[in-house]
Amino acid sequence: MVEMAGNGKRIVKTKAIISSILIALYVGAVFLTISSAIAAHRGSFLGEPAKKLLQLHVHYGMVMLALIAIHLYLNWGMFKNELKVLRS
């Protein structure tokens, strides 16, 4: 196994943390999407009105967009290599 320098190990940990947060937020966003759809049809879901769920969904989306931008920044080199493979 290859030993990583301190900075490389920190970058990998940062990537893992951001990916884990993104996965958790994705699950939350799926739940909010489904609950918003149910609330739009029924008027509320688990006691929350549709408008409140939609606002929460928008906030989740903004946080996810920021984390996705950070994720792409940290993995830009890998992304460029993947694009090279697609072009060949």
**For 43-59, what is each residue's pLDDT tens digit?**
888 888 888 888 888 88
Show the tokens assigned to 2. 């290859």
Cα distance between residue 54 and residue 63, in whole Å:
14
> What is the mean predicted confidence (pLDDT) over 25-34?
86
Burial grade of 36 (CB within 10 A; 0-12, 13-18, 19 or more):
buried
Whole-structure pTM value: 0.63
- pLDDT score of 1: 45
Q: pLDDT band for position 74 (50/70/90)?
A: confident
Q: What is the pLDDT of residue 5?
A: 62
What is residue 26's three-state secondary structure?
helix
Contacts of 64 (CB under 8 A, 6+ apart): 22, 25, 26, 29
d(CA 27, CA 14): 20
pLDDT higher than threshold 50 for residue 80: yes
Q: What confidence category does residue 4 fall into, taking pLDDT thresholds of 50, 70 and 90?
A: low
At 41, list the tokens.
């049809």
37 pLDDT band, cuts 50/70/90, is confident
